[in-house]
Amino acid sequence: MPEENPKAVVLLSGGLDSATVAAIAKHEGYDLYALSFDYGQRHAVESEAARRVADAVGVKGHVFQRIDLRAFGGSALTDDIAVPKPGNGDGCGRGIPITYVPARNTIFLAVALGFAEVLGASDVFIGVNAVDFSGYPDCRPAFIEAFEKLANLATKAGVEGRPFRIHAPLIAMTKGQIIREGLHLGVDYSLTHSCYDPDDDGRACGRCESCRLRKRGFEEAGVPDPTRYGPSGGC
């Protein structure tokens, strides 16, 4: 009988970071179970990207959860207010940006924990990193460590001595390092989507914080940027 691989839940947004994390988890020998969210974000094109990335890396299962964070309001990603770009006040470098979604990673990890416990998986992968941090409190190492502690108090598996591990392998990497690691593992970044404000054809704006981080990453990695930009976004 062939030995079974351990299972891992991977939070998969369809962005550059989570695609890289999925490739890392796969490379480490896990069978992947992807978990994606529609949390009322405007860029539903993310869900299509998550599907493409899951197919490309090869997952054993993929669950989409809808949770309507718009019911609470509170962020440019879910409210009907302008996405910050240069010239309309982006908040970069001035504390927590208005694109912060309250408790988002706490909610995502909590649901991932439930999925992992049902699967009998002890490992959850999440693509937070220091560059994406840019003021988001729930992207810091201390947050990940606190969630891991909580997970082991919260669950039957934790109580019974099968501790959970929350993996955040990108947490100390720059965008360029992430891209180089992903390319090394065969990630096709043309499948991924990062833009907060895509046009109707799903093309990236090239100007929002997420697009600018991504662009700088490809420049830093010294490789071509495969992103499809709208008319004014690629320059």
Residue 183 tokens, joined? 């390319």
Residue 65 contacts its own copies per CB under 8 A: yes
Structure token digits, residue 63: 């669950």
114-131: b or e for each residue (b if 16 or more CB lie within 10 Å)? ebbbeeebbbbbbbbbeb
64 or 190, CB closer to its own copies? 64
Site size for its own copies (CB under 8 A): 44
Q: How far is the CB of 196 from its own copies (least distance, A)?
A: 18
H or E stretch including 124? strand 123-125
d(CA 115, CA 125): 12
Question: Is residue 124 within 8 Å of residue 23, measured between CB atoms?
Answer: no
Task: Using the rule CB under 8 A, give the single segment among 24-32, 42-50, 115-123, 206-214 that binds its own copies.
Answer: 115-123
Q: Looking at residue 135, what DSSP letter applies?
A: T
Nearer to its own copies, 138 or 225 (CB): 138
Q: What element of type H or E holds 143?
A: helix 141-154
Task: Answer yes or no whether residue 174 interacts with its own copies by CB under 8 A.
Answer: no
Binding test (CB under 8 A) with its own copies, winner from 44, 81, 96, 172? 96
> Does 124 help bind its own copies (rule: CB under 8 A)?
no
Residues 115, 9 contacting (CB under 8 angstroms): yes
Binders of its own copies among 189-228, rule CB under 8 A?
none
Judged by CB under 8 A, does residue 102 bind its own copies? yes
Q: With CB under 8 A as the contact rule, which of the stretches 44-52, 141-149, 169-177, 220-228 interacts with its own copies?
A: 141-149
Nearer to its own copies, 60 or 66 (CB): 66
Residue 73 backbone phi and psi in degrees, to 5: 75, -165
Return the number of the residue (106 or 174) whose C-beta is nearest its own copies: 106
H/E stretch holding 52 reads helix 45-57
Site string for its own copies, 11-40 (x = CB under 8 A): ------------------------------
Residue of 146, 173, 185, 223 that binds its own copies (CB under 8 A): 146
In the bound state with its own copies, the residue whose beta carbon lies nearer, of 6 and 72, is 72
Residue 38's region, left for phi above 0, alpha for psi from -120 to 50, else beta, is beta
Q: Report if residue 162 touches its own copies, rule: CB under 8 A.
A: no
| Part of the chain binding its own copies (CB under 8 A), chosen from 66-74, 179-187, 190-198, 221-229 | 66-74
Can you tell me the distance from the alpha carbon of 109 to that of 37, in angstroms, rounded to the nearest whole number?
Answer: 11
Q: Is 67 one of the binding residues for its own copies (CB under 8 A)?
A: yes
Structure tokens at 217: 């990453």
